[in-house]
Amino acid sequence: MVVKTGILYGISVGTGDPDLITVKGLRILQQVSVVAFPMGIENKPGIAQTIISPWLTSKQETCPLFFPYIQNETDLNLAWRQAAEQIWYYLKQGKDVAFACEGDISFYSTFTYLAKMLTHHHPAVKIQTVPGVCSPMAVTSILNLPLTVNNQRLAILPALYSLEYLEQALGWADVVVLLKVSSVYPQVWETLRRLNLLKRAWIVERANQPEQVIYNKLEELPNLRFSYFSLLIIYVSPSDFY
């Protein structure tokens, strides 16, 4: 007898506003038996969990997964393996699982590593993903600005890992988006000051969340402190739209 396994759905839930989830994502989220999400820090709800909480029902099981904020590859692989086995526990019973992912499921997402690990150890697993609103799109909507226009070139960099490439990107791109910028902000600020770009840069912290903050006039904020969940956008080339 062949036992039918469940489907793992990767659901993009946007950056903070529960209304930013797609109709398809919401439909799947509410029809599955189990809903998984990254565990919060210090016993607090994580961002994805907070976003989806208005949409869940009391009949659904929830499965918080631990993903540490570290760079050690060995420890990360262990965490992904443990999370994959937690998901497989439900899938092998024939239960469908939705993994709620902040932003978009394909955009620097933890889900990518989880799905890879699950597929490696359980090749027969079925995985489907649903796209959504990622942080650059959310931030430009908040600022009421276009991300790009006409033939503009766009560069998106995780600043923490790409600081050495920033000046190079500022040389060829018309718009530069920096993710994970908080820990390297002093170096980024100095680069933008030297290139006279501070007046064309914005930071949005915790986009679409109740704690959202917008920072402009960065030339006055060399020592600004803000959270990990922040994005800096630089409009390198002058435009009538900015």
**Residue 111 and residue 12 share a domain:** yes
Instruction: Decide if 2 is inside a domain.
Output: no
**Residue 202 and residue 95 share a domain:** no
- At residue 76, the pLDDT reads 86
pLDDT in tens, the chain (242 residues): 556 899 999 999 999 999 999 999 999 999 999 999 999 887 789 999 999 999 999 999 999 999 887 777 888 889 999 999 999 999 999 999 999 999 999 999 999 999 999 999 999 999 999 999 999 999 999 999 999 999 999 999 998 777 889 999 999 999 999 999 999 999 999 999 999 999 999 999 999 999 999 999 999 999 999 999 999 999 998 877 77
**Residue 114 and residue 169 share a domain:** no
| Tokens standing for residue 116 | 């890879």
Residues in Cβ contact with 141 at an 8 Å cutoff, skipping those fewer than 6 apart: none
**Residue 179 and residue 72 share a domain:** no
**Residue 219 and residue 110 share a domain:** no
Instruction: Decide if 242 is inside a domain.
Output: no
CATH of the domain at 168: 3.30.950.10
Show the 3-state SS of 178-227: EECCHHHHHHHHHHHHHCCCHHHEEEEECCCCCCCEEECCHHHCCCCCCC
- At residue 84, the pLDDT reads 96
Tokens 């986009």 sit at which residue? Answer: 207
Instruction: Decide if 90 is inside a domain.
Output: yes
Q: Which of residues 74, 109, 130 is at a domain's end?
A: 130
CATH of the domain at 49: 3.40.1010.10
- At residue 3, the pLDDT reads 67
Looking at the structure of the chain, the number of domains it has is: 2
**Residue 179 and residue 108 share a domain:** no
Q: Please tell me the distance from the alpha carbon of residue 113 to that of residue 24, in angstroms, as a whole number.
A: 23
**Residue 201 and residue 90 share a domain:** no
- At residue 2, the pLDDT reads 56
Q: Which of residues 87, 109, 130 is at a domain's end?
A: 130
Q: Which of residues 80, 109, 130 is at a domain's end?
A: 130
Q: What is the pTM of this model?
A: 0.92
**Residue 173 and residue 85 share a domain:** no
**Residue 31 and residue 120 share a domain:** yes
Expressed as residue numbers, the domain containing 219 is 135-235
Instruction: Decide if 1 is inside a domain.
Output: no
Q: Among 114, 11, 12, which residue's Cα sits nearest to residue 67?
A: 114
Q: Could you tell me if 37 and 65 are in contact, meaning their C-beta atoms sit under 8 angstroms apart?
A: yes
**Residue 178 and residue 141 share a domain:** yes
**Residue 142 and residue 211 share a domain:** yes
What integer best gives the mean pLDDT of the chain? Answer: 94
Report pLDDT digits (tens) over 190-217.
999 999 999 999 999 999 999 999 999 9
- At residue 160, the pLDDT reads 79
**Residue 182 and residue 86 share a domain:** no
